[in-house]
């Protein structure tokens, strides 16, 4: 229905004059249309649907004196004064959320859903199972103990759809087994695996990182995991210059404490067995040689005192031999720690992310300047949705991809391109790259069978459905497949 | 509650905003002060260490802010008036100083242009 031209003076919404006489009773035709501007319901129907009680209200006080002309114009009669004799209403607005509550709600990770069907016959993930090539394309459930550890290091992300299933389970892809093998072999030789996981959006980079972390936990490694690289560099946690460092480095006490807390939660049993070999005179509390690392880590309670303790724990873990296990140090969101941070030095210069001590630890290992004494892995995952533009990182990762045969041509530097960063290029020169790509149809099928068994995919999983979803989902991009089959209500 | 330069700030207030609440201390200066004391821009008053709060008070007390800054402006206006300039006269009359027309819309000039200017 077309709106008839309105009188500009009266400023009412498009009137329904032409139909008022026939459809809508007299008292209702000046009802303001309160619905959203876009609606698929026609205005006639909508006016008809307005509850009578509401419709009566404006008529009572204000417009009873107003004259309504023959063509629907409203001429103001006497101006009414609203609220002159009214008591102030006491509107109950409910309790406002406490500080931090909204964020906690936004970031919460649900790991089970009682409404989903339990999937029987799933094997539990084990250290051996991760290395077994015959497991490729199988769904495996994460054992409870591992789930607690993964939760402690925040390896689960709120954007992943764990909350739809009864029990957290993962698909073992070809790459997961390869990565697990690589990690175990490199650590076995006492060397450090330096790896960047790259790949398209939604292809499962964070999930592969989660599997790498699982592999580390299952093999009793020590794990340091930075769930969001941006939290280190976007100037949202404490920082302080470390005295006597040149160029000046910056400590992040609060984040150090967070890493320590995650460490002692996830690796408590290992830490309890490890004994200190060095005295730590710089600490306030006295730790005689031979006290357990868990005791040392537990001493960190406040952000103020956390940094020296973090350093002490770190130096203890970096001792060669003495039963020290291999270490996994991982970061999700590499681009954020490969740029200028948002912190400022006391001289008001922008601090490079590599001058932040925590980032520096990571980058030194990634660049191969330092080696983990007892072997281990340093793994970074790139992110595609939340990533600042980072030409140097893209260039170096692209080059490595081309060398490994993922791309035909090596990318070259733009001659007049700005924003290249030498430090970043140096850091990523020798790094290994794993480019994650789409899953095969057999892998997709096993995943879809798991969805169907959980009662979330309500079709028969046959060759046709699998091919259809595989193709609609960007030729086997796992996240896209999930979007087109599970999250259709959301998109 | 945290005191900076004798002013009491709520614990949920951003340190940056607290600094900016002082007269003649704007975003640029506040940023520089934050950087000088290694305070991250999202820090709130509650997590400001006492030592830093004291240092901030010391820093601010050496700066030309609040009444000192107001005094500088008043002095400038007074000087203009004392040497008998047009600008000084217009300030004293509470009228626009820079050649604006005065037929209407001179609220800002009426509000601000005084010899004993506040704010």
- CB within 8 Å: A342 and B41: yes
Q: How many residues does chain B have?
A: 119
Closest-CA residue of chain A to B48: A238
Q: Do the Cβ atoms of B36 and A238 come within 8 Å?
A: no
Query: A17: pLDDT confidence band, cut at 50, 70 and 90?
Result: very low
- Of the candidates B12, B32, B40, which has its C-beta nearest A235's C-beta? B40
Asked if B43 and A241 come within 8 Å (Cβ–Cβ), the reply is: no
- Read off the pLDDT of each residue in A286-315 and give the average, rounded to a whole number: 93
Residue of B30, B37, B40, B47 to mutate when probing chain A, most A C-beta within 10 A: B40
Q: How many CB pairs under 8 A join A and B?
A: 31
Best of B35, B44, B56 to disrupt the A interface (most A CBs within 10 Å) is B35
> 3-state DSSP call for residue A452?
helix
Pairing of the two strands A74-75 and A67-68: antiparallel
Query: Mean pLDDT, to the nearest integer, of A39-56?
Result: 44
Confidence class for position A21, pLDDT limits 50, 70, 90:
very low
* Closest chain B C-alpha to A344 CA, distance in angstroms: 5
Averaged pLDDT, A4-17: 46
Contact A346 B34 (CB under 8 A): no
**CA dihedral sign, ordered A307, A310, A315, A318:** negative
Nearest residue on chain B to A345, alpha-carbon basis? B35
Determine which of A19-28, A463-472, A476-485 has the lowest per-residue pLDDT on average. Answer: A19-28
* Min distance B19 CA to chain A CA atoms (Å): 17
Mean pLDDT of A111-134: 94
The arrangement of strands across the sheet holding A327-332 comes to A222-226, A327-332, A376-381, A192-199, A432-436
Mean pLDDT for B59-74 is 93
More confident residue, B117 or A56: B117
How many angstroms away from the CA of A304 is the closest CA of chain B?
Answer: 9
In the structure, what pLDDT confidence band is assigned to residue A489 with cuts at 50, 70 and 90?
Answer: confident
A206-217 pLDDT, tens digit per residue, is 999 999 999 999
**Which residues of chain A lie closer than 8 angstroms to B34, CB-CB?**
344
Question: What whole-number distance in Å separates Cα of residue B2 and Cα of residue B18?
Answer: 10
Q: How far apart are CA B33 and CA B5, in angstroms?
A: 14
Query: Mean pLDDT, to the nearest integer, of B55-74?
Result: 93
| Nearest residue in chain A measured CA to CA from B52 | A240
Judge: A236–B40 Cβ closer than 8 Å, yes or no: yes
The verdict on a CB contact (< 8 Å) between B38 and A241 is yes
Residue from the list A236, A240, A342 with its beta carbon closest to the beta carbon of B38: A240
Contact: B40, A343; criterion CB under 8 Å: yes
**CA A27 from centre of chain:** 53
pLDDT value, residue A77? 65
Q: With 70 as the cut, is the pLDDT of residue A60 above it?
A: no
A346 → closest Cβ in B35, B40, B42? B35
Q: Give the DSSP letter string of A156-224.
A: S-TTSGGGGSSS-EEEE-HHHHHHHHHHHHHHHTT-EEEEEEEESTTSSHHHHHHHHHHHHHHTT-EEE
Token pair, residue A437, equals 């790509």
> Closest-CA residue in chain A for B38?
A240
- Place A56 in a pLDDT band, splitting at 50, 70 and 90: very low
Distance from CA of B14 to the nearest CA of A (A): 12
Task: Give the nearest partner residue to A236 out of B35, B38, B42, using CB atoms.
Answer: B42
Share of residues in chain A with pLDDT > 70 (%)? 82
Q: What does the pLDDT average to over B77-94?
A: 93
Mean pLDDT of A379-407: 93
Residue A231's pLDDT band (cuts 50, 70, 90)? very high
| DSSP H or E segment with residue A338 | none
Are B2-63 and B67-112 in the same CATH fold? no
Which residues on A lie below 8 Å from B41 (Cβ)? 235, 342
Residue A4's pLDDT is 43
Using CA coordinates, name the residue in chain A closest to B12.
A99
Helix (H) or strand (E) holding A304: helix A303-317
Q: Residues in chain A whose beta carbon is closer than 8 A to a beta carbon of chain B?
A: 99, 235-241, 250, 304, 342-348
Task: For residue B72, give how far its alpha carbon lies from the nearest alpha carbon of chain A (Å).
Answer: 27
Query: What is the domain class of B67-112 according to CATH?
Result: few secondary structures
**How far is Cα B7 from Cα A12, in angstroms, rounded to an integer?**
50
Are A347 and B35 a contacting pair at CB < 8 A? yes
Given CATH 1.10.10.10, say whether it is the number of domain B2-63.
no
pTM: 0.81
pLDDT tens digits for range A188-199: 999 999 999 999
User: What pLDDT, on a 0 to 100 scale, did the predictor assign at position A487?
Assistant: 85
Q: Residues 23..82 of B with a Cβ closer than 8 Å to A: which? A: 31-32, 34-38, 40-43, 47, 49
Q: Where are the domains of chain B?
A: 2-63, 67-112
- Contact between A239 and B40 using a beta-carbon 8 Å cutoff: yes
* Residues 6+ away with beta carbon under 8 Å from A164: A113, A116, A454, A456, A486
Give the one of B31, B34, B40 whose C-beta lies nearest to A237's C-beta.
Answer: B40
- If we measure between CA atoms, which residue out of A468, A6, A328, A235 comes closest to residue B31? A235
Cβ–Cβ below 8 Å for B38 and A342? no
**In this predicted structure, what is the pLDDT of residue A75?**
59
What would the mean pLDDT of B78-93 be, rounded to a whole number? 93
Sheet containing strand A138-141, strands side by side: A123-124, A138-141, A169-172
| Closest-CA residue of chain A to B41 | A235
B43–A239 CB contact, under 8 Å:
no
pLDDT over 80 at A44, yes or no: no
Give the per-residue pLDDT at A305.
87
Q: Dig out the tokens for A466 from the structure.
A: 């699998």
Considering only CB atoms, which chain B residues are within 8 Å of A250? 38
Complex ipTM:
0.88
């Amino acid at each position: 229905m077309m709106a008839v031209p309105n009188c500009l003076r009266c400023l009412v919404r498009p009137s329904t004059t032409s139909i008022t006489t026939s459809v809508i009773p007299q008292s209702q035709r000046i009802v303001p249309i309160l619905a959203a501007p876009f609606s698929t319901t026609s205005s006639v129907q909508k006016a008809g649907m307005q509850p009578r009680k509401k419709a009566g209200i404006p008529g009572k006080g204000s417009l009873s004196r107003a004259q309504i002309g023959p063509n629907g114009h409203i001429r103001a009669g006497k101006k009414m004064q609203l609220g002159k004799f009214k008591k102030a209403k006491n509107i109950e607005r409910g309790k406002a959320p406490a500080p931090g509550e909204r964020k906690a709600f936004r970031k919460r990770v649900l790991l089970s859903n009682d409404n989903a069907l339990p999937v029987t016959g799933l094997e539990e993930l084990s250290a051996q199972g991760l290395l077994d090539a015959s497991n490729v394309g199988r769904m495996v459930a994460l054992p409870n103990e591992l789930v607690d550890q993964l939760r402690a290091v925040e390896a689960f992300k709120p954007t992943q759809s764990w909350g739809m299933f009864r029990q957290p389970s993962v698909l073992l892809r070809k790459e997961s087994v390869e990565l697990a093998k690589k990690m175990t072999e490199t650590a076995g030789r006492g060397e450090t695996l330096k790896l960047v996981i790259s790949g398209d959006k939604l292809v499962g980079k964070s999930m592969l990182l989660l599997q790498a972390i699982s592999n580390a936990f299952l093999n009793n490694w020590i794990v340091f995991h930075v769930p969001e690289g941006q939290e280190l560099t976007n100037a949202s946690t404490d920082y302080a210059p470390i005295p006597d460092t040149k160029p000046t480095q910056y400590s992040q006490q609060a984040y150090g404490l967070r890493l320590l807390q995650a460490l002692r939660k996830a690796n408590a049993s290992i830490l309890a067995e490890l004994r200190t070999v060095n005295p730590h005179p710089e600490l306030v509390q006295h730790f005689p040689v031979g006290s357990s690392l868990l005791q040392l880590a537990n001493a960190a309670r406040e952000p103020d005192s956390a940094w020296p303790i973090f350093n002490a724990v770190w130096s203890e873990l970096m001792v060669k031999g003495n039963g020290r296990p291999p270490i996994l140090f991982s970061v999700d969101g590499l681009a954020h720690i490969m740029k200028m941070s948002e912190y400022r030095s006391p001289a008001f210069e922008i601090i490079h992310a590599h001058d932040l001590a925590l980032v520096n630890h990571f980058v030194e290992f990634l660049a191969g300047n330092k080696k983990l004494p007892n072997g281990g892995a340093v793994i970074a995952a790139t992110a595609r949705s939340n990533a600042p533009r980072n030409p140097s990182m893209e260039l170096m990762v692209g080059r490595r991809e081309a060398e490994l045969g993922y791309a035909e041509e090596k990318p070259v530097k733009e001659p007049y391109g700005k924003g290249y960063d030498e430090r970043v290029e140096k850091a990523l020169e020798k790094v290994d790259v794993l480019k994650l790509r789409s899953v095969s149809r057999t892998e997709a099928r096993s995943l879809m069978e798991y969805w169907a068994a959980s009662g979330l995919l309500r079709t028969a999983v046959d060759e046709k459905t699998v091919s259809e979803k595989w193709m609609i989902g960007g030729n086997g991009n796992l996240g896209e497949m999930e979007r087109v089959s599970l999250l259709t209500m959301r998109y | 509650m945290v005191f900076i330069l004798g002013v009491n700030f709520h614990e949920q207030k951003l340190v940056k905003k607290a600094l900016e609440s002082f007269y003649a201390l704007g975003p640029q200066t506040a940023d520089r002060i934050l950087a000088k004391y290694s305070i991250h821009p999202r820090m709130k008053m509650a997590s400001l260490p006492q030592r830093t709060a004291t240092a901030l008070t010391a820093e601010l007390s050496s700066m030309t802010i609040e009444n000192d800054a107001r005094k500088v402006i008043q002095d400038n206006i007074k000087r203009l008036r004392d040497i008998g300039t047009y600008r000084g006269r217009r300030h004293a009359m509470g009228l626009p100083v820079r050649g604006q027309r005065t037929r209407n819309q001179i609220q800002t000039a009426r509000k601000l242009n005084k010899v004993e200017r506040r704010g």
